[in-house]
């Protein structure tokens, strides 16, 4: 027995990949399941593998089931095909297509063969041994940060910062209100001063008027 190590790339970005380990005696159905688990996809859609070469040309299919479409050659079935039987090259390639409507495509490359003597037989294969990059979101759209945004939000406590911005706004509002009160107070003081000035003017006018009356009487 041998352990086969495959690197599974997302076709649209080869910086996003998962390494998986499987026994050479395990089936393509098990490889199919571990790939979906590695990329956090569900397992409800149709799927198929293609034999491939170094330039990623599709060859014979190893399919989950026989679908209603035209085949160049009848497909092998995942459940009936051991992975080891399809390894004809030390750098063997496969193409994995999932959900024919969405056409999720992954490129698979054999990167290591671990002999029985060097394999850790205490592990339950297949397993995911390495994860690189934020994988695509199966449904809807995915932001650049994806689920990692929650970690960033927690690290920088963005919720607290948001509340801080609110408090700052409230301070500005309070400052504005205080300014209005000060203005009103100053205006009131000015009004009182104005009233006093008007009263003084009234007395002066009254005195002036008294002199005028006296003058006229004279």
198 and 135 in one domain? Answer: no
The first and second tokens of residue 192, run together, are 């009182």
Does residue 150 belong to any structural domain of this protein? Answer: no
For the chain, helix (H) and strand (E) counts, in that order, are: 3, 8
Does residue 151 belong to any structural domain of this protein? Answer: no
Whether the bond between 85 and the residue before it is cis, its omega within 30 degrees of 0, is no
State the DSSP H helix or E strand holding residue 164, giving kind and residue range, or none if neither: helix 158-217
What are the backbone angles phi and psi of residue 47, rounded to the nearest 5°? -160, 155
User: How many C-beta neighbours within 10 Å does residue 188 have?
Assistant: 10
- The CATH number covering residue 116 comes to 3.10.290.30
Q: Each residue's pLDDT tens digit in the chain (218 positions)? A: 899 999 999 999 999 999 999 999 999 999 999 999 999 999 999 999 999 999 999 999 999 999 999 999 999 999 999 999 999 989 999 999 999 999 999 999 999 999 887 888 889 999 999 999 999 999 975 444 444 545 545 555 554 444 444 444 455 545 445 545 544 445 444 545 555 555 455 444 444 443 344 334 33
Does residue 31 belong to any structural domain of this protein? Answer: yes
Give the total residue count for the chain: 218
Q: Residue 105, by phi and psi: left (phi above 0), alpha (psi -120 to 50) or beta?
A: beta
Number of domains composing the chain: 2
Does residue 186 belong to any structural domain of this protein? Answer: yes
pTM above 0.85, yes or no: no
107 and 201 in one domain? Answer: no
Does residue 149 belong to any structural domain of this protein? Answer: no
40 and 79 in one domain? Answer: yes
Q: Provide the domain limits for residue 17.
A: 2-144
18 and 122 in one domain? Answer: yes
Contact 34, 18 (CB under 8 A): no
Query: What does each C-alpha distance from 98 to 59, 167, 215 come to in angstroms?
Result: 16, 50, 114
What is the reported pLDDT for 149? Answer: 47
Contact 43, 36 (CB under 8 A): yes
| Alpha helix ranges (H) inside 5-120 | 28-38
The first and second tokens of residue 202, run together, are 């009234």
Three-state SS sequence of 173-198: HHHHHHHHHHHHHHHHHHHHHHHHHH
User: How many C-beta neighbours within 10 Å does residue 114 have?
Assistant: 15
What is the reported pLDDT for 185? Answer: 47
75 and 20 in one domain? Answer: yes
Which residue, of 94, 116, 144, is where some domain finishes? Answer: 144
What is the reported pLDDT for 6? Answer: 98
199 and 112 in one domain? Answer: no
């Amino acid at each position: 027995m041998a352990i086969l190590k495959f690197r599974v790339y997302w076709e649209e970005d080869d910086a996003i990949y998962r390494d998986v380990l499987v026994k050479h005696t395990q089936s393509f159905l098990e490889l199919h399941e571990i790939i979906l688990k590695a990329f956090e996809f569900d397992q409800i859609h149709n799927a198929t593998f293609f034999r491939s070469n170094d330039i990623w040309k599709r060859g014979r299919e190893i399919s989950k089931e026989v679908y209603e479409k035209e085949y160049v050659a009848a497909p092998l079935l995942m459940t009936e095909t051991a992975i080891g039987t399809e390894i004809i090259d030390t750098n063997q390639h496969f193409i994995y297509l999932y959900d024919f409507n969405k056409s999720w495509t992954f490129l698979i490359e054999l990167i290591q063969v671990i002999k029985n003597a060097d394999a850790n037989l205490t592990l339950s294969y297949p397993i995911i041994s390495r994860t690189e990059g934020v994988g695509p979101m199966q449904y809807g759209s995915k932001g650049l940060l994806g689920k990692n945004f929650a970690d960033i939000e927690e690290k920088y406590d963005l919720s607290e910062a948001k509340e801080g911005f609110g408090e700052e706004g409230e301070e500005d509002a309070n400052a504005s209100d205080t300014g209005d009160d000060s203005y009103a107070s100053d205006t009131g003081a000015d009004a009182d001063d104005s009233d006093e000035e008007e009263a003084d003017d009234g007395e002066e006018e009254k005195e002036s008027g008294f002199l005028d009356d006296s003058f006229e009487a004279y």
